[in-house]
Amino acid sequence: MTQKYTILFDLDGTLVDTAPDLMNAHNHVMKKYGYPTKSTNEIRNLIGQGAGALIGRSIWGQAKKEFHSVEDKKIKDQMSKDFVSFYGKNIINESTLIEGVSEFLRWCKAKNISMAVCTNKQEHLAVDLLKKIKIYDYFEYVAGSNTFDYCKPDPRHLTSVIEILDGNLKKSLMIGDSETDANCAKAASIPVILLENGYTEKNTNEIYHNHLIKDFIGIEKIVSTYLKDWFNFFYYY
């Protein structure tokens, strides 16, 4: 019986550098409501809990913290809607694939590895981005922040997808870029490969990980060790 391997990917900062387009959407809303804008690097630090959390942490949270003036829930909701609307229309203006992603996805497909995306981005935005950047067809499932009643760092965001794919926790791997991804994988008891310069406030060296990589170039060597270990485990046991 052929064993099935599963690799789960985060999206923002892992597969795609989305910070420039997220920054543009963020700054569009902040300008509209009269609040300060942020740089791309500042936006990267705010996406560590998922692109969806950027709305609350920066647009709403920052405005309330700095100006103590956004108290009306209707204004908060409208700012969030404006962000999603603008971002959805400009989702791939400046976003680019992380180096080596295309080659690695092709390698995984050739190895018959099941692949899925587990992101805290809203599902429809994640699917749209993946399609427009032309890697959607590699994935068997896309789970966003609103796919289930829970999302990362809840480990069920990963384990539910593995179950849907008829996979096995002992034959699964997570690739992400933030503390949220790492903690989620750790709680799910699956190994995690972490990108060095991810969307997170904390230094990646201080975040739990099994492997730390700069980009996807050469990652096949790391994943191959897991494929070998998985084969040996299930062959002998």
Cα–Cα distances (Å) from 6 to 46, 113, 115, 234, in that order, read: 28, 6, 6, 15
Strand, coil or helix: what is 96?
Answer: strand
Tokens representing 160 are 């539910």
Number of alpha carbons in the 13 Å side-chain half-sphere of residue 100:
11
Provide the β-strand partners of residue 114.
Answer: 6
Residue appearing with tokens 């913290």? 65
Strand, coil or helix: what is 171?
Answer: helix
Cα–Cα distances (Å) from 84 to 22, 28, 77, 88, 122, in that order, read: 10, 11, 11, 6, 9
Residues contacting residue 186 through CB under 8 Å, at least 6 positions apart:
192, 208
- Counted residue by residue, the chain has a size of 237
DSSP 100: T
CA distance 13 to 65: 26
Catalytic residue among 10, 17, 177, 181: 10
The yes-or-no answer on residue 177 being catalytic is no
Strand, coil or helix: what is 13?
Answer: coil
Tell me which residues are annotated as active site: 10
